[in-house]
Chain A
Amino acid sequence: MKNNIKTILKDMYMIDDSLKKHEKDLIPLIERIIESRPDTKFDKKFAKELRMQLLSNTSSLIAQDKFFKKIINTFKSMANIYKYAGVVGVVVFLAFVGIYTAGQKGINKLAFAPEISKLGSNAFGSLVSQDGKGTDTAQERLGTDQALAESEASMLGSEMTKSARSSIAVPSAGFGGGGGMAVGERMIIPSPIEYNYTYSGEDFELSDSSVSVLRRVKGEVGSSGIVQQIKSMNIGIGDLSSFTNTKIQNLSFYEDKDFGYYVDVNFREGMISIYENWEKWSNPLSRCTDERCYNDNRLTIQDVPSDDELLSIANAFLSDYGINAQLYASPEIIDDWRKVYESTGDESSVWVPDQITIRYPMLVDGEKIYDQGGNIVGLNVNVNVRYKRASGVYNLRVNKFESSEYEAITDVKKIIAYAEQGGMTGPVFYESNGMTNVGENVELGTPEKVMVQIYNYSNGLSNELLVPALRFPILNKSDDATFFWRNSVIVPLAKELIRDAVLPEPRPMPVEDVIIMDSAEPVSPPEGADIIEVNE
């Protein structure tokens, strides 16, 4: 310290030489000041957490910026078209300028990085839906944002997709997998199989008395400014300003060019969907009127890009449109169709999908999210096989959550018992061969901690919840059971969900989903199997 003080004094004397005569006073003064320096208690953990938060926000901000800049450029190019046609384009353009401006004012306005704010315990009320079933079913899930994204993905298919829908769709968990595939055989309705699940993993313990349940925060993200701008404009067909307490729910636009996109921004759900502007994605099959045309133009396995190429196309699209893939885990290709293709004797009879989904698993608090059936939830990018171009993005969402503590289940026996009943979706699945095949054994391995996405219905509204859960991997997935698509069984760790759960019942036959391919040669049904034909 003495050297340090000498340097300080030397500096001072250079400025004011007269201070030298006060050196005996100055030395203790400087010493006292230096000694009084408090310990700042710099917390490395705080620094690390802030760093993570900043970097995820950096990614979001820049991604967001890039995304909206691209959209604004699109509108700029559209502006001339609408110059004489009316004010609609200008309104929409201004609306997006509004979004863009809103996005610039605060990092998190439309940030896609997860953001969690903590609430008190049991803040979301009962986790069990008001109908008392505890968790949602696939039917119940319809009408939610997720279901919207899924249905958009599957329904806004190309002509080929329509064809594919004439067949039995692969029951993959894909969100927007589109296309599906068909087997050129006379298909019969699969019979349900009740699998017997047996836990064969290692012993484990659970000691946490509570779990953090997350609820997704939705609602009019950054839209209020846009509404004001739109309301202030006189479009000549009515006085929009006379409406009060207005909010924007949806905003859609499309690119009027070859391979253009249709973009839907759902402010209420905080979600953006991008898909093909079908008019601008030429499909030779749409002009086919006979089987020969279909056969000449249908895709073959050779048309399907390699996995590397698929990933490269998807990554490039996300990069081009400023969608930050770094917020997700490593992407995976949804290739259930390929398993069917490879397991079929006559591969020429298998319809190769026109779209393949690449899924980027969503990460919240470092955990992957699964649906109740044990499938990963994430951002989905569709790649058009014919044109080898990204054709859509689904489930691009604002990930803002509230967190609340709920009582956890720690009784391992109960958890295993629940898992052995098939977890949240029950034990029954459909087999492809139509044979009644009750009692097939399935082994469950040692579980890992994940989050499960469930929908809770309260006062007519659906809340998306992420609940800590255990994921039991299925160890002995049968190669023969083509349609046994499930990879894992999910058990939620919030006590209430298991305590109040009604054990799943066998599902009804999927009569409407099973359609016969008219062009296919009939095959003899297995003895005792029922055949139902459904004419289009």
Chain B
Amino acid sequence: MEKSESKIIKKCQSGGTSEFGALYDKYIKKIYDFVYYKTMHKQTAEDLVSDVFMKALEKIDLFDEKKGTFNSWIYRIARNTVIDYYRTKKSELNIEDVWDLSSNENIDLDTDARMKIEKIQEHLSKLKSEQRDIIVMRLWQGMSHAEIAQVLGKSESSIKMMYSRVMSQMREEVVVAILCYLFIK
């Protein structure tokens, strides 16, 4: 953890009222983007991000830098907030983000996002939520394997392995899809 960030967190934990703003400024865009990738809806993402930072503020006393970085801590809050949101909304335990919802369901999705993800939706939807998170964090957010590992509470090597398998799996699907396309044609 950066020394300055560590200092800021310590100040927050000891009652520094204005210090949280520095943490917020650093993480708001990253967390918002992450939540958006899991909801594909601006309003929902904004509501959930508000909850994420409220929770972070309330629970900052519980943050322990010995157990991980603030980055991974707040990502975990964001991830759990999204999971809670969909589980509460759908009353189904296996729904963790918008990708888990059937495309037939009446869900709020930004139109342009829907169009943009059209090409990969089929592939990503087949992945588990955790696998998708790895792809999103690695390819859309440029996070390192180590950072992803901390967010997901796994070792770096296991994340590397999962990532490799996911890419391999997706490649196979693409190849199969192309062959099917050629065969039908």
Contact = CB atoms under 8 A, between A and B. Distances in A.
Interface in A29-45: 29-30, 32-43
B42 A43 contact: yes
Contacts of B116: 36-39
Given A50-B28, A324-B17, A11 B145 contact: yes
B153 to A, nearest CB: 20
A184 B101 CA distance: 83
B53 interface: yes
B126 interface: no
Contacts, number: 121
B119 A54 contact: no
Nearest to A14: B160
Contacts of A65: 15
Interface in A11-53: 11-12, 14-16, 19, 22, 25-26, 28-30, 32-43, 46-47, 50-51, 53
B20 A38 contact: no
A186 interface: no
A107 to B, nearest CB: 6
A25 B161 CA distance: 19
Nearest to B138: A8
Contacts of B135: 33
B110 interface: yes
Interface in B1-52: 15, 17-18, 20-21, 24-25, 28-29, 32-33, 36-37, 40, 42, 45-46, 49-50
A363 interface: no
A50 B54 CA distance: 10
A54 B24 contact: yes
Interface string A77-107: 0000000000000000000000000000001
A146 interface: no
A50 B58 contact: no
Contacts of A53: 50
Given A50-B28, A54-B54, A36 B120 contact: yes
A15 B42 contact: no
A58 B57 contact: yes
B58 A32 contact: no
Contacts of A324: 17
Contact of A19 (B33, B46, B168): B168
A8 B137 CA distance: 13
A496 to B, nearest CB: 34
Contacts of B160: 11, 14-15
A22 B116 CA distance: 25
A54 B20 contact: yes
B54 A43 contact: no
A37 B118 CA distance: 11
Contacts of B120: 32-33, 36
B107 interface: no
Contacts of A30: 139, 167
Contact of A40 (B32, B50, B58, B145): B32
Interface residues of A, number: 43
Contacts of A58: 17-18, 20, 57
A40 B20 CA distance: 24
A59 interface: yes
B139 A26 contact: no
Nearest to A55: B21
Interface in B90-124: 110, 112-113, 116-120
A19 B17 contact: no
A118 to B, nearest CB: 15
A61 interface: yes
Given A19-B168, A37-B140, A54 B42 contact: no
Given A12-B163, A107-B57, A62 B17 contact: yes
A506 to B, nearest CB: 49
Nearest to B39: A40
B119 to A, nearest CB: 6
Nearest to A322: B15
Given A38-B37, A41-B110, A16 B168 contact: yes
A218 B132 CA distance: 47
A107 B46 CA distance: 19
A112 B83 CA distance: 32
Nearest to B29: A42
A126 interface: no
A55 B53 CA distance: 11
B88 interface: no
Interface in B134-185: 135, 138-140, 145, 160-161, 163-164, 167-168, 170-171, 174-175
Contacts of B167: 12, 19, 26, 29-30
Of the listed residues A12, A16, A34, A38, the one surrounded by the most CB atoms of chain B closer than 10 A to its CB is A38
Contact of B17 (A32, A40, A107, A326): A326
Contacts of A16: 164, 168
B169 to A, nearest CB: 11
B15 A66 contact: yes
A51 B50 CA distance: 9
Contacts of B33: 40, 42
Contacts of B139: 8, 30, 33-34, 37
Contacts of B163: 12, 15
Contacts of A50: 24, 28, 46, 49-50, 53
Interface in B59-91: none
Contacts of B175: 25
Given A32-B120, A58-B17, A58-B20, A19 B164 contact: yes
Interface of A: 8, 11-12, 14-16, 19, 22, 25-26, 28-30, 32-43, 46-47, 50-51, 53-55, 57-59, 61-63, 65-66, 107, 324, 326
Interface of B: 15, 17-18, 20-21, 24-25, 28-29, 32-33, 36-37, 40, 42, 45-46, 49-50, 53-54, 57-58, 110, 112-113, 116-120, 135, 138-140, 145, 160-161, 163-164, 167-168, 170-171, 174-175
Given A16-B164, A38-B116, A65-B15, 10 more contacts: A15-B164, A19-B171, A37-B116, A38-B36, A40-B32, A55-B21, A57-B54, A58-B17, A62-B17, A63-B17
9 contacts: A11-B160, A15-B161, A25-B175, A29-B171, A32-B120, A39-B112, A42-B33, A50-B53, A51-B24
